[in-house]
Structure 1
Amino acid sequence: MELVADIFLVAGALGAGLYCFVLARRLNRFNDLEKGVGGAVAVLSAQVDDLSKTLSSARAASDGSNAALDDLTGRAESVAARLELLMASLHDLPDATPPETPATTERVEPTKPVAPAGPIFVRHERAQQGAQQ
């Protein structure tokens, strides 16, 4: 009975060893930097670094654009205030009367277009036949 128990114990140890060997190979392939998840993680990490650099440069550019837009908005508001002041001062001016134009009693007739005497378009064949006769 002890012999059977020892055989089962050795078989279990060999099975566990084989299982650990297969698991170690799979884990090595899983963490491989070229084909496995390790490679994907490395690529994604590099992309995250690139995106964070791009984001920081875009943020700096937008901050510069925001400052320029604030400056332009301030200038536009000051110009609008000046225009409002000028429009208000135009209301204070007296109305200018337009100069009177003398009334004409003659009525001018439009000229009529002159129609051409002959045909406008002539075919070459007919023109040559008319010249030969």
Structure 2
Amino acid sequence: MDLIADIFLGAAAMGAGIYCLILGRRLNRFNDLEKGVGGAVAVLSAQVDDLTKTLAAAQSTASHSAETLTELTRKAESMAQRLELQMASMHDIPEPPRSNGSVVAHAPAAPQTPAEPMFVRHRGTAAQ
């Protein structure tokens, strides 16, 4: 009886050993850097690093563009104020007298209507 129990115990140990050997080989293939999940993780890690660098460069470019745009907006507002002052000062300048000595007072001109509309909406044939 002890002999039969020892035979079954040995067979079970041999089966467990073979099972562990097969499982170890599968695990090595699973973690292989070229074909398995390990390779996919390595590729994804490299892509994340590339995307991080690209994102940092895009943020730097966007902040530089925002600074430039802010500076240009300030300059444009300053120029608009100067132009408004110049236009206002033009109303204070008297008109030069004509050759016969009389000053011509001109009436404000009526607004002219343009021959063509300033903005035109074009509709594509696909939108109809």
TM-score class, shorter: 0.5 to 0.7
Q: Which amino acid counterpart does residue 74 of structure 2 have in structure 1?
A: G
Instruction: Count the aligned residue pairs.
Output: 98
* Cα RMSD, aligned residues only: 2.3
Q: Give the TM-score taking structure 2 as reference length.
A: 0.65
State yes or no: 1:22 paired with 2:22: yes
Q: Which residue of 2 aligns with 1:45?
A: 45
Q: Which one is further off, 27-36 or 54-63?
A: 54-63
Give the 3 Å change call, closer, same or farther, for CA 22–97 of structure 1 in structure 2: same
Structure 2: segments with no counterpart, 5+ residues: 95-103, 108-128
Gap change, CA 1:2 and 1:89, over 3 Å in 2? same
Deviations 1:21-60 (A, max 9, x none): 1111111110111111111111111111111111111122
Whole-Å separation in 2 of the counterparts to 1:30 and 1:82: 72
**Counterpart in the other structure of 1:118:** none
Distance in 2, Cα, partners of 1:18 & 1:75? 80
Q: Deviations over 1:92-133 (max 9, x none)?
A: 6789416xxxxxxxxxxxxxxxxxxxxxxxxxxxxxxxxxxx
Q: Residue 70 of structure 1: CA displacement?
A: 1.1
User: TM-score, normalising length from structure 1?
Assistant: 0.62
Q: Which residue of 2 aligns with 1:75?
A: 75
- % identical equivalent positions: 66
Aligned-partner Cα distance in 1 for 2:14–2:105:
114
Unmatched 5+ stretches in structure 1? 99-133
Amino acid at match of 1:19: Y
Match for 2:106: what amino acid?
Answer: T
Q: 1:31 corresponds to which letter in structure 2?
A: N
Structure of larger gyration radius: 1
2:10 alignment partner, SS class: helix
